[in-house]
Structure 1
Amino acid sequence: MSIRTGFAVAAAAMVLATGAYAQETQRPPLEAYGALPSLELVQISPAGDQLAFVTVIADDRAMLITDLSAGTAAGGLRIGNAKVRDLQWVGEDQVLATTSVTAAIPQLGVPRSEFYMGQIFSIEDRSLLRIFQRNRDVLPIMFGPPRVRQTADGPTIFVRGYSPSNAEDLNLFRVSPGDGLGRVAVDADLDVEDFVLDPEGRPLARSDYNERSRKWTLLLPRNGRLTTAWTVEAPVDSPYLLGQGRSPRTIIVNASREDLAPSEGSGEDGSLSNLFEVNVDTGVWEPLKFDGHPGFLMHHPRTGLLIGSGTTGEDGVTYNFTDPMAARVWAAIDDAFEDGAPELVSWSDDLKQVVVFTSGTGDSGVYRLIDLDNGTAQIVGETYPAIKPEHVGEVRSVHYKAQDGLEIHAYLTLPPGVTDPSNLPLVVLAHGGPASRDVMTFDWWAQALASRGYAVLQPNFRGSTGYGLAFLEAGYGEWGRKMQTDLSDGVRHLVGEGIADPAKVCIVGASYGGYAALAGATLDLGVYRCAVSVAGVSDLRRMVQWEADQGARRDNQTVRYWNRFMGAERTGDRRLDTLSPARLAEQADAPILLLHGKDDTVVPIHQSRIMASALREAGKPYEMIELAGEDHWLSRSETRLRMLAETVRFLEAHNPPQ
C-alpha cells in the first residue's frame, strides 16, 4: 500500500466512524474546547515498536503505552491531576514522565515556583520510580530537562540536581533508570548554565553565565577537563548552546561574533540568526548556513547529531534536512499531505516510523503514525474529538499596515460556516510573550470564540518572533505604544474591508496579551467595548520589581531584559507608570474581566488584584475571578473551562454576537 493510499484508507475509516455525528449541526459545547487535549505528547519508542502518550480519562490524565505489533495496550499509569510536561523513552522498556507542581521551599529561601520531577515507569513490572528517590541528600526535583543517553551501562538519564548540604552546587547527575539513584557525573555550581553531552553522556561543552560580571563563557574539553575557550560580555542577550553539530566532536552555538564571518542571513531571523558549528578539539568556529532562516534545529533521535532545521511561517512549519536519509523520509511524508503542513512529533531511531500532527481549517488536531516500510498511515487519535471538521472555523492569513507603515501579519478565524464575512462582531486575541507568535494551526481559544459567532483576529504585532530580528527589536520600548496600536490598526483594517463591525469589538489575551487587553481599555481608548485579561500584567514597574526580588541579584539578566522591552532605563523607573493600566484605571472606557491563577509563578496574582483595586477605587465596571490551583499556562481542565466560560459570558453580556 502506498503512503497516499494509506492516508485515504485511514481517512475513510475516520469518516465512517463519525458519520452519525456529522448529521448533528449544533455547535459543540464549550466543554469541547476548554477540555484538555484528549491526546498529547505522543512518542514512538526507539525501535518503533511501541507508542507512549498522555490521554484524558474521566477528567484525569493517564499515560498509556501501545504495542504496535500486537495492537494491544502494553501498560499504563494513572497520573490524575498532575501536570505532565514531557515524555521520553528510556530504551524500549521504560518511559520517563516529567511532571510539575507549584510549591515553595521556605527552608532554602526559595519562593513559590514551578518545580519539575521525573518519574520512570517500567513496562515489564508496571513499577514507578522517582528520579533521586534513593538520594537522601538530593531534592527530588529536576533542575533542567532530563537527557537520555545510551551509555555502556545501558540507557541512562542525565539531569541536574540540588543538594541542600552543598548550597552553591547544582551538579549534573547520571541516574540509573533501574533504581532512580543519582550519582554525580560532573561537578557544577550555580553559574553553570548548560551542557552538551555526547551519546555516552560525556560533556562536549559547557556554558556559564555570571550575573555579577555579566559574562557568558564557553568551556571545551582540554586534557580531560573543561576549560575556558571563549568569553563575552552579555548584559541581556547571551549566546546559548544548541546541542551537537553534524559530526561527533562538534557543537552548535548561537552567538553574535563580529570578529567572525556571520552565518548567511545573520540578523534576519528572530531566533537563530548567528549559528556556528564549533569543533571542540580545535576550538575552530565555522558559520553554519541553512537555506532560509531556521527557528529551531533538528537532531537525530539516536546519534544526537544535527540533521536539519525548521522554520515556522505563515502556512505552518517547514523543514530543511541536511541529512540525506532524513530529507528523503520527510519529502515522502510531506508529499502525502497535499492540503496541510504536517508537524514532526517524534520518530524511531531508524527514521522509518514517524509520528506527525496536523491541525487548522477543518481539522481540530490529528496525530498519525507513518510507517515508511509498509507505506501506511494510521490515525493514532484526535486532540479534540468532539469538534468535527464542520465545526472548525476557517483560518485566513491577513496583512495590513500599521500607522507607521510597518507591515503586520495576523490570522483571522471566522465563525464555522462563514465564507463571506461581513460586519461581524470581532474579538482581538493578543498572544503572550510578547516575544512569541501565533501560528496557522487549530487554536482552541480562538475556535471557541468563533463558534459563538465572533470573528477572531490574532495579530503578530511588532516584537513578535518569526519575522526577523529588526521586527523583534521594533517592539523594544513599545509596550502600550506601537505594540498596542498594531492591534487596533488590525481592527481598523478589518472595518475598512467590511469584515468587522466597528461598534462591536472586544479585546482578550493572556500574559502579555492580558496586559494588551488592559491597555486596550486604558491607553488605546475608543476602540473596544470590553476587555478580558487572563494572568495579565497591570503595573509594569511593580512587575519588574518582583522579578528583581526573585533573583539572587536584583540587577539580574531577566530584569535587564524586561527593562529593555518595556522601555525603562533602570529598575524602579517611574516612566513605566505612564504605560501601566493599574495607574490609569480612571481612564478605563470599557468593562474589564480579570482572571488569574492563584498558583501563577510567572505573573503573580497580585498584578490582577492591583488592577481590581484600582478599578474599584475609580468606580469603573470590572469583575475579578481567581482560579484556585491554576498556573500561568491553564494546565488544569477545570479551570481552563472556567476561564473560557467566564470569557464567553462576559463577551456575550457586553458585546453580544447577534
Structure 2
Amino acid sequence: MFRSWVNAAAMAAVIVLSGAAGGAQGQTAPQVTSQTPPLSAYGAAPSIENIELSPSGDRIARITVVGEERAVLVSDFNTGEALFRARIGDTKVRDLTWIGEKRILVVTSQTRGIPLIGIPRTELYFGLIVDLEKRKMVQVLDRTENVISVLYGPAMVRRVDQDAALYVRGVAVGWESSSDLYRIDLTTGRGRSVAPMNYEIKDHVLDGGGQVIAMGKYVERRGRWTLMLPRANRSSFREDWSVDTPIDTPDLMGMGRSPRTIVISAMRPDLAGTTGASEDGYTLFEVNVDTGEWSRLPFDTHPDFMIRHPVTRLLIGAGWVEEDGVHYEFIEPVSAQRWASIERAFAGKRPKLVSWNDDMDQVIIFTDVGESGLYQIVDFQRGKADILAEAYPAIPDDQVGAIRFIEYEAADGLAIPGYLTLPPGVTEPKGLPLVVLPHGGPAAQDTIGFDWWSQALASRGYAVLQPNFRGSTGYGLDFMEAGYGEWGRKMQTDLSDGVRWLAEQGVIDPDRVCIVGASYGGYAAMAGVTIDKGAYRCAVAVAGLSDLRRFVNWSARQESRANSQTIRYWNRFMGVDKLNDRGLDALSPAHLAAGADSPLLLIHGRDDTVVPIEQSRVMADAMRRAGKPTELIELSGEDHWLSRAETRQKMLAETVRFLEVNNPVH
C-alpha cells in the first residue's frame, strides 16, 4: 500500500514543538477519578454489534447486546417503531445481512468439533434465517440430506427473478464428501446443490443472478493455484491461468465493473511490469471470464477491500487504510459524489461505510476517531444525518485518550510506524508510565480509531504504544518480508526501540514500562522478559505462543499433514525449513524461562482453537520450575478472540491489577 510517511526526524520535531519532549509544562499520568469509566465499560461488548439498512431503506436491523445476551431488533426508519425483536441468547454473532425486505440472515459461531466426520475442535459458523412476517427462525442447511448445518465459507445474497436468494457452501458427508454450493429454501432452510465443488475449490465468484462465473482451485500438496473460468457452453470450467505458490495464493475479490468480469489480486509481472503494481507486488486485475483478457483496475492505490453496488454486486469503489483512518475511492460517479459530501460533512472523523439501501440515498456510517464509536444515518433525500446508536455509551468523548501517529527508527535504520495513545486529558505528555501493546498476527496491523484495550489501559494513566513492527501488513512486501525469520529477533527489538525513542523524547519514563499482548503479541510479551531483556518491568501474555516448535507440530496434527500451506507459512515466518526444527527452541520463551528478568502474567481461554491453552500452561510450568514470578489465569468458555464480554472484562481487570502492582502509575 502506498503511504506518505513523515520521517522520524520531522515527527520528533512535531512532538518537541507540541511540548511532548518535556519542560515544565509536561503532563504526568492523571489520577483515576469518579469521572473515569470503570474497566467493565471497556471490556463490555459494544451495545450494537451489527447494523444494516434494508434494501428499501425503510427498515433498520441491528444486533443489540446487554451483558452476554444478544437480540435481533428491527425498527421502522421513518417512525422509529420497533417492528420485530427476537432473543438469540448467549451466542457469538459474526454477521447480519438482509435477504430481501422480509428476512434477515444472522451468522453465529461456536467452538466445537465434529469427530464423526473428522472435523477437529475449531470455530464453526452457522446461519439463522429470521422471517419477520412469520416471526420464526430456521437454520441454514437444516434437514439437507447428507449435509451438516455448518457454513463452509461466507453466505451470499443475490437477486434472482426479482426475488432475494441465499447461497452457501455446505459440507456433505457420506461415501463421497464434497463442498457444493447450495441455494437455500428461505422457508425451510433446506439447501439444493446448484454447483458441484470439492475441497480444492478454495474460492468462487457469483454474478448478480447467482451463477458461478469463476473459481480458484488450490492443490495444497503441490502448492499450485489455478484460475478456473467458464467454457463457451458455460456448463463446465477450464483452466485459464496457474501459478506455483506454496504460501501466498491469489485472491478472487468478486465481480468487476461489468457482469462478465471478475476482480483478482495476483502477482503477474509478465502483465504488470512495474507500472501500476502495488508495493506488495500484487496488482488488482479485472478479468473477462469469457475471453480470459486481463487488465489493470484504475485505482490510485492498491485497495484493501472492494465496494459493490447493493443490487447488481458490480464493483463501484474500493477502500484502504492510511495513518489517519480508512480512505475510499469510487469509480461510479453518483456514489463518488455522495461519499465526497459525507467526507466534507464529517471532516477529520474518517467515516466508515457500514450499509446503504438499494438506491444508495441512505447510508449508515461509523466514526470512532476521537470518540468511542458512533453510528449515524445520512439521508440524502432529507439532507440530514441522524444518530442511530453509540458503540460504547458508557465512555464519553472526553474520556477517550488522544491517539498520535508516530514513526521512529529501529536499530538497523528501518522506519517503524505506530500509534501512541495518551491518557484522557493529556496533551503534553512527560515521563508517563508506558504499556507496549503489540498486535497479533503477526501479519496484521494496528490502525487509528477507538481500540477498547488500549483505551482501557490509557484510562488508568498509562501511555500505550502500538508499533507496526516489521512483518506487519499494510506497508508493502519488503516491510512484511523483513519480518521473516525475525521472531524473537528484530521483530522483538522493534518494540523496545520504540520504548527507547519515546524515552529520548521525554514522553515516557524508561524505568516504568511493561509489555502486554495477545496471540503473537502474547509471544512478544513473553519474549520481552526472556529474550529482549532489560526493557520491561512486567509482561502480560494473552493467548500467546511460548513453545514455537510444539505449536507448529500441534498445527500439523490438526491438519493431519506436515506439508500444508499453514505449516509452510509458519516455517517461513519463524525462519525454519522443516517440521520439528529444534532451532525454534532458542526463540521459545518456555525454553528460556530460567533467564526471565520480570514477573509474567499468563491469561488464556480454554476454548482457544488457534493457539491451544497448552502454550500458556507450558510457560507457567517452566517459570515455576525456574523459581520465577508468574501467574496463570484460565478463562472458561473463551476463544482466541476474547469474544465474550465477561471474560474480556476479567482479562482487563487482571491485567490492570498486575500492572498496578508491578508498574504503578504514581
Q: Same fold (TM over 0.5)?
A: yes
- Which range is displaced more, 149-158 or 633-642? 149-158
**Is the CA contact (8 Å cut-off) linking 2:225 and 2:244 kept in structure 1?**
yes
Query: 1:307-360 deviations in whole A, cap 9, x for unaligned?
Result: 111110100000011111110110010110123110111111111110110012
Whole-angstrom CA distance in 2 between matches of 1:136 and 1:288: 42
1:240 has 2:248 as partner: no
1:517 has 2:497 as partner: no
Shift, 1:63, TM fit? 1.6
Q: What does residue 191 of structure 1 align with?
A: 200
SS in 2 for 1:278: strand
Residue in structure 1 matching 2:611, options 603, 612, 624: 603
Shift, 1:540, TM fit? 0.9
Structure 1: which amino acid aligns with 2:215?
Answer: R
Whole-angstrom CA distance in 1 between matches of 2:451 and 2:441: 16
Q: What does residue 226 of structure 1 align with?
A: 237
Shift, 1:263, TM fit? 7.3
Q: What does residue 569 of structure 2 align with?
A: 561
Q: What does residue 572 of structure 1 align with?
A: 580
Matches within 5 A, 1:117-156: 117-152=126-161, 154-156=163-165
**Is the CA contact (8 Å cut-off) linking 2:517 and 2:541 kept in structure 1?**
yes
Query: 1:333-389 deviations in whole A, cap 9, x for unaligned?
Result: 01101231101111111111101100122x110010111111111111001100001
Q: What does residue 82 of structure 2 align with?
A: 73
Residues 1:153 and 1:332: Cα distance change in structure 2 (over 3 Å) = closer
Matches within 5 A, 1:258-269: 258-262=269-273, 264-269=275-280
Shift, 1:133, TM fit? 1.4
SS in 2 for 1:360: coil
Whole-angstrom CA distance in 1 between matches of 2:609 and 2:166: 27
1:252 has 2:263 as partner: yes
Residues 1:415 and 1:193: Cα distance change in structure 2 (over 3 Å) = same
Unpaired runs of at least 5, structure 1:
1-23
SS in 2 for 1:205: strand
Query: 1:627-654 deviations in whole A, cap 9, x for unaligned?
Result: 0000011110110100000000000011
Structure 2: which amino acid aligns with 1:299?
Answer: R
Shift, 1:219, TM fit? 0.8
- Percent identity of equivalent pairs: 56
Matches within 5 A, 1:14-93: 26-93=35-102
1:95 has 2:91 as partner: no
Residue in structure 2 matching 1:469, options 477, 484, 487: 477
**Is the CA contact (8 Å cut-off) linking 1:264 and 1:289 kept in structure 2?**
no
Structure 1: which amino acid aligns with 2:566?
Answer: T
Q: What does residue 326 of structure 2 align with?
A: 317
**Is the CA contact (8 Å cut-off) linking 1:262 and 1:287 kept in structure 2?**
no
Q: What does residue 413 of structure 1 align with?
A: 421
- TM-score, normalisation: structure 2: 0.93
**Is the CA contact (8 Å cut-off) linking 1:265 and 1:273 kept in structure 2?**
no
SS in 2 for 1:538: coil
Q: What does residue 627 of structure 2 align with?
A: 619
Structure 2: which amino acid aligns with 1:388?
Answer: P
Q: What does residue 549 of structure 2 align with?
A: 541
**Is the CA contact (8 Å cut-off) linking 1:211 and 1:553 kept in structure 2?**
no
Structure 1: which amino acid aligns with 2:525?
Answer: A
**Is the CA contact (8 Å cut-off) linking 1:263 and 1:288 kept in structure 2?**
no
Whole-angstrom CA distance in 1 between matches of 2:294 and 2:321: 27
- Which range is displaced more, 548-557 or 597-606? 548-557
Shift, 1:167, TM fit? 4.4
**How many equivalent residue pairs?**
632
Whole-angstrom CA distance in 1 between matches of 2:357 and 2:34: 40
Matches within 5 A, 1:192-591: 192-222=201-231, 223=233, 224-262=235-273, 264-269=275-280, 273-361=282-370, 363-591=371-599
Structure 2: which amino acid aligns with 1:609?
Answer: R
**Is the CA contact (8 Å cut-off) linking 1:398 and 1:409 kept in structure 2?**
yes
Whole-angstrom CA distance in 1 between matches of 2:149 and 2:357: 30
SS in 1 for 2:171: coil
Shift, 1:40, TM fit? 2.1
SS in 2 for 1:364: coil
Computed over aligned residues only, the root mean square deviation of the Cα atoms, in angstroms, reads: 1.3
Structure 2: which amino acid aligns with 1:255?
Answer: A
Shift, 1:77, TM fit? 1.8
Answer 1 or 2: higher relative contact order, Cα 8 Å, separation at least 6. 2
Residues 1:162 and 1:153: Cα distance change in structure 2 (over 3 Å) = farther
Whole-angstrom CA distance in 2 between matches of 1:153 and 1:346: 21
Whole-angstrom CA distance in 1 between matches of 2:275 and 2:308: 21
**Is the CA contact (8 Å cut-off) linking 2:251 and 2:264 kept in structure 1?**
yes
- TM-score, normalisation: structure 1: 0.94
Query: 1:504-556 deviations in whole A, cap 9, x for unaligned?
Result: 00000001110110110110000000000000011111111111112243210
**Is the CA contact (8 Å cut-off) linking 2:552 and 2:570 kept in structure 1?**
yes
**Is the CA contact (8 Å cut-off) linking 1:596 and 1:627 kept in structure 2?**
yes
Residues 1:347 and 1:153: Cα distance change in structure 2 (over 3 Å) = closer
Shift, 1:41, TM fit? 1.3
Shift, 1:433, TM fit? 0.8
**Is the CA contact (8 Å cut-off) linking 2:276 and 2:296 kept in structure 1?**
no
Whole-angstrom CA distance in 1 between matches of 2:88 and 2:645: 14
Whole-angstrom CA distance in 1 between matches of 2:620 and 2:532: 19
